Amino acid sequence: MPEARPPLQAARLEFDERGVPFATQYGDVYHSADGALEQAHHVFLHGNGLPTRWQSHSPFCILETGFGIGLNFIATWRAWQNDPERCRHLHFVSVEKHPFSQADLATLHQRLLGAEYAKLSQQLIQRWPLATHGVHRLHLQNDALGSVTLTLLFGEVQPMLRQAVLAANAIYLDGFAPARNPDMWSDDVIHTLSRLAAPNATFATWSVTASVRHALEAQGFAIEKCAGFGHKRDMMRGALNEYGNRVAQQRSARQPHFANQRAVVIGAGLAGCAASERLAARGWNIDLIERHAAPAQEASGNLAGLMRPMLARDESHIVRLSRSAYLYGLAQLNGLNAGLNAPPRFGMSGILQMARDAEHAQEQRDILQHLNLPTALVQFCNGDEASSHCGWPQAHGGWWFPHAAWVNPSSLCTALLAQWPERIRTLFCQSALSVERTAQDTWRVLSSEHCIAEAEVVIFANAADACQLGLQLPLEKVRGQVTHIPPTCNALQTLKAPVCGEGYVVPHYGGVACLGATFEFNDDSTEIRPAAHLENLSRLQKLLPGVDLPALNQLEGRVSFRTATPDRLPFVGAVPDWQKPLKQGAKLRDVVRQKGLYAAVGYGARGLTWCGLAGEILAAQICGEPLPIELDLLDSIDPARHLVRAASKGKNLSV
């Protein structure tokens, strides 16, 4: 397993003698002393032919090599708002090794930005992410003007760019001076930027250093010197030359294009509702097929579940993905809560992951010391602190996630669909039994009697039932029984926050405490079983030592079926062509896909955590937009990963 990366070092709030923000570590300023926003407009916007060039593209993607204070982004966002011929979707992707804290960023913006930028700055600062390695996606605007999405890559520039998945129409080459921070301007960085360039991509930079110029020319960019900003005589700008464009066109040709922006989603649980909402947010029209009379009637129908990340000493794929999904999910919950008449029911009361004993508590301490994560994400608390947080005596303490949430899943599904009622058509009481390709390059979803819906894109979000529609994925149904403790039982009245470990308990929110859940393989029974209640009560005794257990005849419950995968990671992405065998040693890039077919299945017991980010990943893939996770994490959830693993062992994969 890969070791955890060193913690991010936040930028320090410092100024030089002129009052310009200054980085002592690099001995350089964050912007020109002649004017920060003026430099952004002259060098980066005008140097890339903006705003004119984005008027003929949607989405339009800008890639920046150093976010810093965010002034280039703020200037670009404002210019986009002021352009009556703006593109519908603007993506801004930026790398930052040393992000400022939220408070310091607010201080800098107050000093540097005028009143016309105040609302933009406020939105950015409100959504500013925690300083954790990885990709952070911020949806900053989606209204009548269009949408603006900021994707921040926190970490070292070259590793983060190497893991990025995007096609940049314009590149802002920024950062501290090459002499001060050569890693930002290395040949490897320039090579990676060329790989991330879209056809006809342009670049601009204030630097005219010969090594940078030569690296750009070697990677297929035509270079032009022009008048610099302020005291700088020159700057550079340019565009892909004939060779660079030919390579970019080859990459672009591999991206599927869907002209009609229509999709059919099968399954109205968390996976299907989240995918529908993310596509609808991009202007797509969705037919959502569900065999029940309402959404969230199966595994997504439990009264309450937990949204929290996984932690481990290593930086395994599942740990990193769960952290990214958790942070994205919390932001999504807050966004939905702000704008709906019927918002999702949830509580960010925090969650305690208790330590089993003193040895386990020490292990938890050691892991957090090794990871050095922000305390706003997680902290270890001793027994007294844990008891205060959750409202129940805890002898050994545990991990406290201060912003983690309990969520009512069905209300989240309803809220997701309510975001875009004019774009999401729900087709309830319809059972999808087969999917077939038409001569018009569309897919028809059929019942036993008729065609339910037809579109260029179909997303399978119907858990293990997707296998009955042709998805040959290693999915397994796992029975889970949840125990409901009624409010007449006083045993849990003092509990203030969910506690988890081997199982979980959610306090009396909405009048019922939820306790669960069993894991029962090879069992299709939907009957509520006393034995399963007893198993859950046994877990409760471990979570809340000394609790008075209610009588069995006071308990109710619910049975549902999770869909598990062998590696506990979901299947999210383009569906392979099962008829195309792979050679030994084949990679994911060698897998032939069925154009227009996508999967969102195998969420297991973490549907609440996975669903939001997974929906965003799917929508970005389908629309050809920058992806919100690193490439290796994308590969870890690819629906073809098991085929590639089998190929590495020389197995015949033709089916």
621 in the same domain as 497 = no
Residue 21 domain-assigned? Answer: no
pLDDT score of 655: 35
Residue 421 domain-assigned? Answer: yes
138 in the same domain as 65 = yes
pLDDT score of 654: 45
Residue at which a domain ends, from 537, 564, 591:
564
Torsion-angle region of residue 357: left (phi > 0), alpha (psi -120 to 50) or beta?
beta
194 in the same domain as 120 = yes
Full-model pTM: 0.96
Residue 386 domain-assigned? Answer: no
**Pairing label, strands 351-354, 499-501:** parallel
pLDDT score of 652: 55
Domain residues for the domain of 480 are: 476-564
Determine the 3-state secondary structure of 254 from DSSP.
coil
285 in the same domain as 249 = no
560 in the same domain as 460 = no
Residue 512 domain-assigned? Answer: yes
**pLDDT, tens digit (0-9, with 9 covering 90-100), for 116-172:** 999 999 999 999 999 999 999 999 999 989 999 999 999 999 999 999 999 999 999
147 in the same domain as 240 = yes
176 in the same domain as 55 = yes
Torsion-angle region of residue 596: left (phi > 0), alpha (psi -120 to 50) or beta?
left
Residue at which a domain ends, from 564, 584, 599:
564
| CATH code of the domain containing 514 | 3.30.9.10
Give dist(CA 187, CA 205) in Å, integer.
15
Residue from 11, 26, 29 nearest 232 by CA:
29
Residue from 329, 378, 326 nearest 352 by CA:
378
pLDDT score of 338: 72
Residue 520 domain-assigned? Answer: yes
Sequence-ordered list of residues with C-beta below 8 angstroms from that of 442, at least 6 positions apart, any chain: 454, 455, 456, 596
Residue 162 domain-assigned? Answer: yes
Tell me the sheet residues that pair with 571. 601
Q: Which amino acid is at 258?
A: F
Within 10 angstroms of residue 331's Cβ, the number of other Cβ atoms is 17
54 in the same domain as 76 = yes
pLDDT score of 2: 58
| CATH code of the domain containing 419 | 3.50.50.60
Residue from 69, 128, 61 nearest 96 by CA:
69
Residue at which a domain ends, from 189, 224, 253:
253
Residue 628 domain-assigned? Answer: yes
573 in the same domain as 484 = no
pLDDT score of 58: 87
Torsion-angle region of residue 650: left (phi > 0), alpha (psi -120 to 50) or beta?
left
180 in the same domain as 207 = yes
Residue 374 domain-assigned? Answer: no
625 in the same domain as 604 = yes
pLDDT score of 581: 86
pLDDT score of 34: 80
Edge-first strand order for the sheet with 405-407 is 305-307, 405-407, 346-347
pLDDT score of 132: 95
Tally of domains in the chain: 3
| CATH code of the domain containing 196 | 3.40.50.150
Give dist(CA 275, CA 619) in Å, integer.
7
Residues of the chain with pLDDT under 50: 653-655
101 in the same domain as 221 = yes
- Tokens 């309990």 belong to 406
